[in-house]
Structure 1
Amino acid sequence: MSFSGKYELESQENYEQFLEAIGLSHAKTDHKVLTEVVQDGNNFTWTQTIPNWTWSNNFTVGQECELKTMSGSTFKAPVTMEGGKISVKFPQYQFEAELVDDKLVMTCVTPGEKGVTFRRVSKRI
């Protein structure tokens, strides 16, 4: 199944705790998040938009790519896909995304004994 499409935030768990864990506790959390994914084979453009802010990454599954964090810094990491689940190791957390019943489910987990698991579910619009 293709990830391509536009998605609107339906629910999220532990977002504020996640932002605090990665040092972005000052970020607003009461906003509508739109995610747009364009997939052409293994090539992706992944964009998240909230009012007054857009964050976008272009990547190819199976290759090391230069990616941007939520705070705007860049890093390089391989992007993998297994069993329909995209996975990337960001500097401060592990990111995974999959389609479940035509909904985009994104999970970010910070490392350590007191790690935070942030889960966002977005419906296709």
Structure 2
Amino acid sequence: MSFSGKYQLESQENFEPFMKAIGIPDELIQKGKDIKSISEIEENGDDFKVTITTGSKVIVNTFTVGKEAELETLTGEKAKGVVHRDGNKLKVSLKGIESVTELVDGNTIANTMTLGNIVYKRISKRV
């Protein structure tokens, strides 16, 4: 199953505690909590381009599965990491955050980010 497609955020859990934990200012957390971000994923073999648009903020990451890449984090910092593919899951660890993006079915992506004991979960549906 291919990750390629455009997905809109449908629901999220633990947004505020997670954003506080990674150092996002309160006013940005309040602005961002109700924005339905759009994730666009282009998959070409092991090469990926992921564009996440949240309001006026756009994060674009390109990577090849199994190879080190410089990726932009939610805070806008750049960090080096290696994305691994495990079946229908993409996994990466950046700056102490474990991120798992899972293709649940043809129309749903679940992204779980874990920092210590805080688990931030996002469900996005294909648009």
TM score, norm. by length of structure 2: 0.91
Deviation of 1:91 (Å): 0.3
Greater displacement, 22-31 / 11-20: 22-31
Q: Distance in 1 between matches of 2:15 and 2:25?
A: 10
Q: Distance in 1 between matches of 2:122 and 2:6?
A: 14
TM score, norm. by length of structure 1: 0.93
Aligned residue number for residue 118 of structure 1: 120
Q: Aligned partner of 2:125: which letter?
A: K
Extract unaligned runs of 5+ from structure 2: none
Extract unaligned runs of 5+ from structure 1: none
1:107 partnered with 2:109: no
Aligned residue number for residue 13 of structure 1: 13
Q: Distance in 1 between matches of 2:60 and 2:25?
A: 21
Q: Distance in 2 between matches of 1:18 and 1:47?
A: 21
Superposition RMSD in Å: 1.1
Query: Residues 31-58 of structure 1, C-alpha deviation per residue, up to 9 Å, x if partnerless?
Result: 1210000000000001110111101100
Aligned residue number for residue 50 of structure 2: 46
Conserved in 1, the CA contact under 8 Å of 2:10 and 2:36?
A: no
Q: Aligned partner of 1:116: which letter?
A: I
Identity %: 40
Aligned residue number for residue 39 of structure 2: 35
Conserved in 2, the CA contact under 8 Å of 1:10 and 1:123?
A: yes
